[in-house]
Amino acid sequence: MTVAVPLEELRAELDRRSAVVYLLTVADSGRPHCVAVRLGWRDDELEIRTGTTSARNADARPGVTLLAPPQPEPARAAGEEGAEEGAATSGYSLIVDGDVTAISMAPEGGVVVRVRPTHAVFHRPAQGPGAPVHDCIPVFDQAEGGDEKT
């Protein structure tokens, strides 16, 4: 089944999660480089303040990935307003692929990398013996015209 998922849903999901996520870039050696970063939004792009190594990697290889770890179950009681928000995906990591669109020096230090999200999935490992290796829920895939893929 293919269902279009607007970018606003990805924004809402990232906003529900911790402000700290992991940015993965690729070094000159081909090895992954992973750092904890804070996210912000500017229009429909993510703004990520990071260090010079991540910025250098992103400049050389502009395909990057963000990983938001699973979130604890919502603490609200059943029936309470907002109790269901994020509950279905709280046990999943959110993985977002994107393309770097700009890199600039931050006035207060560090570097700001802007990323246009292109693909996102919720991911979790198998839930028991004999279960599939993973259990993914596609969220957003810009490469396929903004359609969700299953």
Report the CATH number that the domain containing residue 55 is assigned in CATH.
2.30.110.10
Q: Which domain holds residue 58?
A: 3-74+84-148
Whether 128 is covered by a domain: the verdict is: yes
Which residue type is seen at 32? P
Whether 19 is covered by a domain: the verdict is: yes
Instruction: Give me the mean pLDDT over the 3-16 stretch.
Output: 69
In whole angstroms, what is the distance from residue 27 CA to residue 58 CA?
9
Whether 79 is covered by a domain: the verdict is: no
Angle CA 26–31–36, to nearest 5: 60
Buried residues in 105-143 as b, exposed as e (16+ CB within 10 A): eeeeebbbbbbbbbbbbbbeeeeeeeeeeeeeebbbbbe
Q: Does the pLDDT at position 84 exceed 80? A: no
Whether 101 is covered by a domain: the verdict is: yes
Whether 137 is covered by a domain: the verdict is: yes
Confidence of residue 70 (pLDDT cuts 50, 70, 90): confident
28-42, pLDDT tens digit by residue? Answer: 999 999 999 989 999
Greater confidence, 149 or 21?
Answer: 21
Which residue type is seen at 69? P
98-135, pLDDT tens digit by residue? Answer: 999 999 998 888 899 999 999 888 887 766 666 555 56
Q: In sequence order, which residues have a C-beta less than 8 Å from that of residue 32 and are 6 or more positions away?
A: 24, 25, 26
How high is the pLDDT of residue 95? 87
Whether 139 is covered by a domain: the verdict is: yes
- Counted domains in the chain: 1
Instruction: Give me the mean pLDDT over the 61-71 stretch.
Output: 91
Its pTM stands at 0.75
